[in-house]
């Protein structure tokens, strides 16, 4: 499949307005992250909510570096070959940063690391445990698919994150165009389903599962509702829906900007299908207000 052509970006509508970074809390958080050599998906993926979230003292830590082995056509994170590099001090540094910032809810996400035998699952698990041992924060693990390796997923789940999240990103028809060829919609559903199996086996009700969709890539409403049904069928509790924003002219263009009322209608449809929490809006991202729907159990 050929790469998408670099097209001029249409001007976003008036309801796409992100808060500019600034303020004392933002500067303090940035200083802590830089001093400890940590990365956030907020910066690497050019999240439009960076100003709002950092001002509130919230951040999503991106583990295992800032170079991803995959090349999804929507994502601004750098692509390359990290050649097996892993910082063994990162779990402790993240835990100490969480303690220093006094965070109540922490999201740990990763770049895809297909160069590692377990996709980085053991490293994420070590970080979950380090945060738990040194802070009172609840922990969400937002991960890739680990190449479909069930043993790697199990190693992560054994660290018992409060929430396990994995994003399907888009509807099945658009998956081959939007995501890296090593990803698939079916595998993403299988990962989310597998994350529920330990709960059924052990009778644990505390862990929440979560997924996210980007809209405006060319999907129709029927396809979005069908994905909702698929996610509920594998036990997903929390769903986020946001507008895709083209990060650079080299990435996929926006097919359509959904109006806020459309997001509200989709949120109603999601709640009717039994999701515990649906966050939907033009600037909503998978980690936006992440503790909601997890803390309220």
Q: Give the CATH number of the domain where residue 68 resides.
A: 3.20.20.70
Q: Confirm whether 295 is domain-assigned.
A: no
Q: Confirm whether 214 is domain-assigned.
A: yes
Q: Do 119 and 146 touch, CB atoms closer than 8 A?
A: yes
Instruction: Give the mean pLDDT of the chain.
Output: 86
Q: What is the pLDDT of residue 64?
A: 94
Whole-number Cα distances in Å, 20 to 32, 47, 54, 163, 286: 20, 11, 11, 29, 20
Q: Confirm whether 96 is domain-assigned.
A: yes
Q: Confirm whether 93 is domain-assigned.
A: yes
Q: What is the pLDDT of residue 287?
A: 80
- Mean pLDDT over 215-243 rounds to 97
Residue-range definition of the domain harbouring residue 38: 24-281
Contacts of 49 (CB under 8 A, 6+ apart): 18, 19, 42, 283, 285, 288
- Between 161 and 207, the more confident residue is 161
Q: Confirm whether 71 is domain-assigned.
A: yes
Q: Confirm whether 14 is domain-assigned.
A: no
Structure confidence at residue 31 as a pLDDT band (50, 70, 90): confident
Structure confidence at residue 3 as a pLDDT band (50, 70, 90): very low
In this structure, of 20-29, 75-84, 229-238, the range with the lowest mean pLDDT score is: 20-29
Q: What is the pLDDT of residue 100?
A: 87
Q: What is the pLDDT of residue 7?
A: 43
Q: What is the pLDDT of residue 12?
A: 80
Question: Quick one: which H or E segment has residue 79?
Answer: strand 78-79
By C-alpha distance, which of 95, 89, 25, 97 is closest to 57?
25
User: Which of 254-260's residues contact partners 24+ apart within 8 Å by CB, and which partners?
Assistant: 254/9, 254/10, 254/216, 254/217, 255/216, 255/217, 255/218, 256/216, 256/218, 257/10, 257/12, 257/13, 257/16, 257/216, 257/282, 258/215, 258/216, 258/282, 259/13, 259/15, 260/15
- Mean pLDDT over 12-27 rounds to 68
Q: Confirm whether 166 is domain-assigned.
A: yes
Name the domain count of the chain.
1
Q: What is the pLDDT of residue 261?
A: 97
Report if pTM > 0.75.
yes
Q: Confirm whether 201 is domain-assigned.
A: yes
Residue 201 has pLDDT above 90, yes or no: no
- Between 206 and 165, the more confident residue is 165
Distance of CA 39 to the CA centre of its chain: 14
């Amino acid at each position: 499949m050929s790469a998408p052509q670099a097209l001029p970006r249409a001007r976003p509508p008036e309801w796409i307005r992100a808060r500019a970074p600034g303020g004392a809390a933002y500067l303090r958080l940035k200083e802590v992250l830089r001093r400890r050599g940590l990365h956030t998906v907020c910066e690497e993926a050019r999240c439009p909510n960076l100003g709002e979230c950092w001002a509130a003292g919230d951040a999503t830590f991106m583990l295992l570096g800032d170079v991803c082995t995959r090349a999804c056509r929507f994502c601004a994170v750098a692509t390359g070959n990290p050649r097996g590099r892993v910082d063994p001090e990162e779990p402790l540094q993240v835990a100490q940063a969480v303690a220093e910032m006094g965070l109540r809810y922490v999201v740990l996400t990763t770049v895809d690391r297909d160069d590692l035998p377990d996709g980085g699952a053991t490293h994420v698990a070590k970080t979950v445990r380090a945060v738990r041992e040194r802070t009172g924060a609840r922990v969400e693990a937002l991960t890739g698919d680990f190449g479909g390796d069930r043993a790697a997923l199990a190693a992560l789940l054994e660290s018992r994150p409060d929430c396990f999240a994995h994003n399907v990103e888009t509807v099945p028809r658009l998956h081959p165009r939007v995501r890296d060829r090593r990803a698939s919609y079916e595998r993403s559903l299988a990962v989310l389903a597998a994350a529920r199996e330990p709960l059924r086996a052990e009778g644990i009700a505390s862990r929440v599962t979560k997924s996210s969709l980007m809209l405006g890539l060319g999907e129709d409403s029927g396809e979005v509702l069908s994905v909702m049904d698929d996610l509920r069928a594998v036990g997903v509790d929390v769903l986020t829906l946001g507008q895709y924003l083209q990060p650079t002219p080299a990435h996929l263009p926006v097919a359509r900007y959904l109006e806020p009322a459309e997001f509200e209608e989709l949120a109603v449809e999601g709640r009717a299908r039994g999701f515990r929490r649906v966050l939907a809006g033009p600037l909503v991202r998978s980690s936006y207000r992440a503790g909601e729907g997890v803390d309220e159990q």
